[in-house]
Amino acid sequence: MNWLNYHHLLYFWTVAKEGSISRAAASLHLSQPTISGQLRQLEKSVGSKLYERHGRSLRLTEVGQVVFEYSDEIFSTGRELMERLRGTQQGGSQTFTVGIPDFLPKQVAFRLLEPVFRMPQKVSLVCHEGKLTDLLAELAMHRADLILSDSTVGSQVSVKAYNHALGESGVSWVASRELAEILRPGYPNSLKGQPLLLPTQNTVLRRSVEMWLERQDFDPNVSAEIEDSALLKLLAAEGLGVAPVASIVLRDLQERYGLHSIGSLEGASMQFYAISVERRVTHPAVKAISEAARSQLFRI
């Protein structure tokens, strides 16, 4: 194949995204016979079938899947280009939309987003909090530029996204000043029987803490499981228990919540990622976050 008709490729990509020729025709405002004819032309160009019919539905062949992956990147990049140009041409502030999963520690999110406010160009920051799956859907529809997370997007997720490592932090136990002073001298044995305030089971931090507890060989006294990281810290600040946090924000937690470190969880860690639809980071705000995280916050 010496050349590729990108109109044909767009029709193919739209059919794959919409799931049928009829829905693609409605989306593109074209007739179904027109799209069917264009698909046949594309198959002729590539020299292979791209779809197989199963009842009333179409399924991608092995070659069709390869063509779809490349076309998805081509048109995603095209949208990125137009959005970037619109932001440049408008001359005003460029909107930068970030998704923050509800389980991500808010102090970590704050520290990661700080560099955006120091950028030379005007950037209007919009933050959405929610479930990671919902935020990924927003990312796939280009309603978000970035997701900050403590876990990667795996191959089992249908959204095509890229994980950009930002850094790694240790984990520490914190409590109110009075409780921390009592528990610190005999740590870690002093935690036996103490009420533990833990994140819920669906979080990376919870799994890391549970592995550490198993190595200590004592049964934890879990008094609460809290999904919202801010509420978890407020409960600990009131002296209601001991909570695990990312070590990189210990100073922030002491200043803002009056929480003090009891001791670190040896062997436990948290990784943080920027998730985007860009294979290579080009958005200036994403670049600012990545560079500051690696050079200052995490010091990789």
Domain with CATH 3.40.190.290 in the chain: 92-300
The model's pTM: 0.66
Residue the block writes with tokens 């791209």: 50
The top-level CATH class assigned to 6-84 is mainly alpha
Q: DSSP letters of 107-151?
A: HHHHHHHGGGGG-SS-EEEEEEEE-HHHHHHHHHTTS-SEEEESS
> Among residues 223, 230, 218, which one has the least CA distance to residue 179?
223
What is the torsional sign of CA 143, 145, 147, 152? positive
Position 42: which residue type? L
- Predicted confidence at residue 1, as pLDDT, reads 45
pLDDT 10s digit of each residue in the chain, 300 long?
A: 457 788 888 888 888 888 888 888 887 777 888 888 888 888 888 888 988 877 667 788 889 889 888 888 887 777 666 665 555 544 455 788 999 988 888 889 999 999 999 888 888 899 999 888 888 888 877 788 899 999 888 754 556 788 999 999 999 999 999 999 999 999 999 999 999 999 998 788 999 999 999 998 888 899 999 988 889 999 999 999 999 999 999 999 999 999 999 999 999 999 999 998 877 777 888 889 988 888 888 864
* Cα–Cα distance, 277 to 218 (Å, whole number): 43
Q: Residue 171: which of 299, 267, 104 has the closest Cα?
A: 267
CATH topology of domain 92-300: D-Maltodextrin-Binding Protein; domain 2 (3.40.190)
Whole-number Cα distances in Å, 61 to 73, 234, 254, 284: 18, 53, 57, 38
User: Which segments of the chain belong to CATH 1.10.10.10?
Assistant: 6-84
